[in-house]
Structure 1
Amino acid sequence: MPGIGTASELAPTGYAHHIQAHGLTVRRGRRAAVDGIDLNLGTGVHGLLGPNGAGKTTLIRTLATVLHPHSGDLELLGSARRSRGELRELRRRLGYLPQAFGHYRRFTVREFVEYMAWLKEVPRRRTADAVQHAIDRVDLTGRADDRMGSLSGGMLRRAGIAQAIVNDPDILLLDEPTVGLDPAQRMEFRALLRDIGAQSCVLVSTHLVEDVGAACAGVVLMDEGSTVFAGHIDHLRVAGTDADPGDSDFERGYSALLRRHREGKVGARG
């Protein structure tokens, strides 16, 4: 796409690539849900956009080491090796919030986050402080001793975010994290993302283009398993015209990039 650089080309000097993928392909059955994508992401907050079925969740799960690539190269935190010991060490440095996460309803919020800290091998001497800090950051301090089964959808989502950040991850992967959050909570969450992104690589999959525009410096747009665009958020903002669908510059840019990508595929087939 002329005039639009890759994430690596737009990165400032010294930008560390926590996530590097080349030709990454992940199949779900016979279909390539992620189809030969290239990706270079470093410190900062990156939005992952795309329509339903674009491959966003499959990509997030692959980066979280839940799924394994079928082909291509993937480096996380500078390593492509995946022995059992290396995976264990890598997972200590990852934070992951899936769309639906399992939990014991009878656990309190504090017990849930403590349990996840134990799974991530947070040192025992640091666990209590790490758990409290994570709970405070998602504004659940007053509900820390409430049972998980008593929480509203938005509070449950915030508890999920707390477990994802309890180990101060170098890579934080969030799949639809703002589902159930009210507008004020979404604004607080954006501020939290920017704070975490100052030192870590954060990738946020969402349908809410405005959240990406408000919180992210970089954006990856996917469609049908392929990368449509990867670059600075400002390129998304100026990519559309008044004729493109959307209520904001970011939404119109999203619509325009998808339209051009699909028109190009039709033209290539013709």
Structure 2
Amino acid sequence: MQAIEADSLVVRLGKRNAVNGLSLRLGQGVHGLLGPNGAGKTTLIRTLATVQSPTSGTLSLLGSPANGKLRPVRRRLGYLPQHFGYYKRFKVREFVEYLAWLKEMPSARIPGAVKTALERVGLTDRAEDRMKSLSGGMVRRVGIAQAIVNSPDVLLLDEPTVGLDPAQRLRFRELVAELGRSSCVLISTHLVEDVAAACTDVVLVSEGSLVFRGTPADLATAGTTEHVGDSPIERGYSALISANAGGAW
């Protein structure tokens, strides 16, 4: 059984299909989701997180249909949206505890799970600080902590490294590599180098459709020195997006 199984998935937003007939199967490992602005990445992540409902096609999460009973599935998901809200007066520990409670974790497990999650994102020393006192990068790390507090079987991260400094991004890559050994991790990002360093495979979407699926090494061979980019993987990305758009990139 794959953790995520989508067949001819369509998600309509307004008058357009943000996800347009996409078929995809993802299992254990770290998967990078790439694509230009407006490609449908955030809509796809939201749909996989059961925030957005599919318009047509089929979607199965952890063996259960996404149009069925969602509470058992949601207990096994971790989700970091691109923008997330929080109560500014909450302490860091309280915020992650609150999200653990919303995920219906057993009360006895929550304190230890919160402690471990904060340790993994390097925020143990800020556990009693108010959320309003944190920098943008620290808030993002709290977001990662709440996403992983329940040891999810499927972890969905939308632009998780925004606001992180280079050292924090390196630690993040180590963390997701560790998580991917036992879970299905999907990372949506604009940073191609993060995909190259952290992901076992790459999913490239454009205009809501799948245009490439392969390893970072496969992606690196898709371009030439004539394409835009500072590295082979960036040039491969540019080549595929250009070919799909029918013009120069």
TM-score, length basis structure 2: 0.97
Give structure 1 regions of 4+ aligned residues with deviation exceeding 6 angstroms.
none
SS of structure 2 residue aligned to 1:25: strand
1:139 counterpart (108, 117, 122): 122
Q: What are the Cα deviations for residues 177-231 of structure 1, in whole angstroms up to 9, with x where unaligned?
A: 0000000000000000000000000000000000000000111111111111112
| Counterpart selection for 1:94 from 49, 55, 77 | 77
CA distance in 2, matches of 1:143, 1:20: 38
Return the alpha-carbon distance in structure 2 between the equivalents of residues 247 and 143 of structure 1: 37
Residue matched to 2:212 = 229
TM-score normalized with structure 1 length: 0.90
Gaps of 5+ in 1: 1-15, 265-270
What is the letter of the counterpart of residue 246 of structure 1?
A: G
| Match of residue 23 from structure 2 | 38
Could you say which residue in structure 1 is the equivalent of 2:4?
A: 19
Structure-1 separation of matches of 2:180 and 2:66: 25
Matches within 5 A, 1:70-109: 70-80=55-65, 82-83=67-68, 86-109=69-92
- The counterpart of 2:100, out of the listed 100, 103, 117, is 117
SS at match of 2:161: coil
Q: Aligned pair in 2 of structure 1 residues 230, 205: CA closer, same or farther (>3 Å)?
A: same
Deviations 1:23-82 (Å, cap 9, x if unpaired)?
000000110000000111000000000110000000000000000000001010011153
Aligned to 2:159: 176
1:172-251 matched pairs, under 5 angstroms: 172-251=155-234
DSSP-derived class of the 2:246 partner: helix
Change over 3 Å in CA distance of 1:81–1:29 after alignment to 2: closer
Match of 1:59 in 2: 44
Task: Report the AA paired with residue 104 of structure 1.
Answer: Y
Q: Which runs of 5+ in 2 are unaligned?
A: none
Counting aligned pairs with the same residue, the percent is 66
Q: CA RMSD in A?
A: 1.0
1:158 paired residue number: 141
Q: Give the Cα–Cα distance (whole angstroms) in 1 for the partners of residues 6 and 201 of structure 2.
A: 16
